[in-house]
Structure 1
Amino acid sequence: MPQNKQPINLAPGVIAIARRVKPGLEAAFEEATRGVTLAASTFPGYLGSDVLYPATKQGEWQIILRFDTPEHLQEWEESPICQGWIARADALTIDKPRITRINSLEAWFALPEIPNAAPPPKWKTAIVSAVGIYPVISLMPNLLRAITGGLPFWLANLVNISIMMPLMTWVIMPQVTRLFKGWLYPSK
């Protein structure tokens, strides 16, 4: 007789935390963000993190933490270690943090200049993602062929992806999102 098993949750757990730093405490806050990401990296299911720096000194800092499941994210959030980092960040920032739980690729579409915006519809994020991804996947393998030409296929793909994903996350998608900002986040 089959046993009842809990379904496996394949969705990632992603949280984006936006904060405004007290003037003069930017360096201390940046050090704290490094501490948060280092501490989170020791927890089960940690996949990575990003820090989006503000466009101006008065702007919001955004920290994005990714875990393999919402349950692992919850374990991190409820841990005494996380609570300690929250207390430290509270002392360095103005007001309460703005916390957003993110599903799928929504992290690519967070713009510091549009705080508290609801994520764009998935169909729009799919189109804008394709606009950003298409040139990268079309050009990168050819540009890297001098490096990857003699490698086995799987290793050449790994090198390509290892370069493409950071490029997409930190260079391409922030620019493409800003380019399509009016369409993704229409004024009410």
Structure 2
Amino acid sequence: MNLGAVKKHSAAEAGVHCAITLNVREGREAEFEEVLIRFVQRSLDYRGTTGVHLIRPAPGSGSREFGILRSFQSEAHSREFYSSDMFKQYKIDTAELVEGEPVIRPLHGLEAFFRGTGAAALPRWKMAAVTWCGVFPTALLWSHLLGPRLTLLHPVAVSAVVSLAIVITLTWFVMPCLTKWMRPWLHKH
């Protein structure tokens, strides 16, 4: 279940995105959630933080695994946040509430496009389908627009220029729009 999503910038902006998972001790879930929400509210003002999305286990699932998706302006901001006194205090405040260490994993590539679009992990086949819906027309467009104009270049150079145009178009326009438009389908059960 979604605890809430807070964003300071649009989903289309670049940045660093991290997925954090941790297991809460049995019977301490409500207490952990209170501490977590207070921490998240304070942490949003931390320099370079651009958003956070909290995920709790589904009721009746038996899982005690919580998820946190954090976004930062840059890798330097992420490193600074995770070494800050505020984060160290949060670790102290939750030490008795969690089992083991949290797993902090950076999100790259396709995972970052789909961040924050829902509480549950999306099926890979749906991510692949949405990605194909973006890649196919974008590749077709740039191949037809640039290919004929670059005939004097070596085929490898043509591929490099066309693929650069595709990547830029996908990253800053197509994928952010597709994930927004297709959100209802992506999360349909």
Residues 53 and 116 of structure 2 are in contact (CA less than 8 Å); yes or no, is this contact kept in structure 1?
no
Distance 1:54 1:68, change over 3 A: same
In the alignment, what sits opposite 1:90? 95
Displacement after TM superposition at 1:128 (Å): 7.4
Partner residue of 1:46 out of 49, 53, 56: 49
In the alignment, what sits opposite 1:60? 65
Distance 1:57 1:128, change over 3 A: farther
In the alignment, what sits opposite 1:124? 128
In the alignment, what sits opposite 2:35? 32
RMSD between superposed Cα atoms in Å? 3.8
TM-score by length of 2: 0.53
In structure 2, C-alpha distance between the alignment counterparts of 1:108 and 1:44, rounded to whole Å: 20
What amino acid maps onto 1:76 in structure 2?
F
In structure 2, C-alpha distance between the alignment counterparts of 1:120 and 1:20, rounded to whole Å: 24
Of structures 1 and 2, the one scoring higher in RCO (CA 8 A, sep 6+) is: 2
In the alignment, what sits opposite 2:104? 99
Give the unaligned 5+ runs of structure 1.
1-9, 131-164, 180-188
Q: Identical aligned pairs, as a percentage?
A: 19
In the alignment, what sits opposite 2:24? 21
Residues 57 and 63 of structure 2 are in contact (CA less than 8 Å); yes or no, is this contact kept in structure 1?
yes
In structure 2, C-alpha distance between the alignment counterparts of 1:18 and 1:178, rounded to whole Å: 24
In structure 1, C-alpha distance between the alignment counterparts of 2:95 and 2:44, rounded to whole Å: 21
In structure 2, C-alpha distance between the alignment counterparts of 1:76 and 1:125, rounded to whole Å: 35
Of structures 1 and 2, the larger Rg is shown by 2
Are 2:79 and 1:74 equivalent residues in the alignment? Answer: yes
Moved over 2 A (4+): 56-59, 87-90, 106-114, 123-130
Residues 59 and 112 of structure 1 are in contact (CA less than 8 Å); yes or no, is this contact kept in structure 2?
no
Residues 50 and 73 of structure 2 are in contact (CA less than 8 Å); yes or no, is this contact kept in structure 1?
yes
TM-score by length of 1: 0.54
In structure 1, C-alpha distance between the alignment counterparts of 2:133 and 2:102, rounded to whole Å: 28
Tell me the matched-pair count: 128
Residues 32 and 89 of structure 1 are in contact (CA less than 8 Å); yes or no, is this contact kept in structure 2?
yes
In structure 2, C-alpha distance between the alignment counterparts of 1:61 and 1:74, rounded to whole Å: 22
In the alignment, what sits opposite 2:183? 172
Residues 128 and 176 of structure 1 are in contact (CA less than 8 Å); yes or no, is this contact kept in structure 2?
no
